[in-house]
Amino acid sequence: MTKTVKSKTAHFLAETAQVDAAAIAPLPASRKVYVEGSRPDIRVPFREIKLSPTKTSSIDEENPPLLVYDTSGPYTDPNAQIDLRQGLSALRRAWIEERNDTEFLAGHTSEYGKRRANDPTLAQLRFDLTRTPRRALSTKRRPAWKRDPAVLRPPGHRDAGNGVYCPARKPAPPSAGHR
């Protein structure tokens, strides 16, 4: 295959990229539901699974649906519009900005990232959407409560993982059918 044919093929594939219909088809005997998290802009995804009845000697006893955490992202949400060229929405952007502990970079900082960004042969493979990279503020520029353990943390702050609070990680209340 010549270089021109490869380039045209890659361009065609990039322009026509789409999610396979089977990947976003509804799952059988279940539906995607959302539970509001610790704040209104947090919607925690769950899958409500319809259970078959329990067969007993006299009757079939109905079982309540089972609610499980759904890690499939927007792909199994029948109301979501998926565009591979645009990427997923930046769900955590507001939370990150509220923390006020990051800054935007002028561009890629690693040599690998710079090489890839400047490689014209990769242009047709890039998403239409590009986001400006961020990094954590240097220790001197971070809020006092993040620099000094003796300074009281603001109300509602949780030590999760590396000490960064992420509202999406607040556990959701158990469902009525979940024991």
Q: How confident is the model at residue 24 (pLDDT cuts 50, 70, 90)?
A: confident
Is the pLDDT reported for residue 169 higher than 70? no
Q: What is the dihedral of CA 165, 168, 170, 174, to 10 degrees?
A: -170
CA quadruple 88, 91, 92, 94: dihedral, nearest 10: 130
Percent share of the chain, pLDDT over 90? 27
Q: What is the DSSP string of 87-147?
A: ----TTHHHHHHHT-EEE-SS--SHHHHHHHT-GGGGGGS-S-----EEEPPGGGS-HHHH
In the prediction, which pLDDT does 134 show? Answer: 92
- Report pLDDT for 12: 57
Distance CA 138, CA 160 (A): 20
Helix (H) or strand (E) holding 22: helix 21-24
- Residue 130 exposed, middle or buried by CB count within 10 Å (0-12, 13-18, 19+): exposed
Give yes or no for residue 148 having a pLDDT over 60.
Answer: yes
pLDDT of 62 > 50? The answer is yes
Cβ neighbours for 154, distance < 8 A, ≥ 6 positions apart: 145
Count CA within 13 A, CB hemisphere, residue 6: 5
Query: Which pLDDT score is estimated for 168?
Result: 58
φ, ψ of residue 55 to 5 degrees: the values are -85, 120
d(CA 102, CA 100): 6
Report pLDDT digits (tens) over 32-61: 999 998 888 888 999 999 999 999 988 999
Residues of the chain above pLDDT 70, percent: 69
Segment 103-129, tens digit of pLDDT = 999 998 999 989 998 999 998 888 888
Mean pLDDT of 130-146: 77
Task: Say yes or no to pLDDT of 179 above 50.
Answer: no
Structure token pair of residue 13: 């594939």
Range among 16-20, 26-30, 148-152 with highest mean pLDDT value: 26-30
What are φ and ψ of residue 72, in 5° steps? -80, -5
**Would the pLDDT of 152 be above 70?**
no
* Structure token pair of residue 34: 């959302």
> In terms of pTM, does the model score above 0.85?
no
Residue with more model confidence, 11 or 179: 11
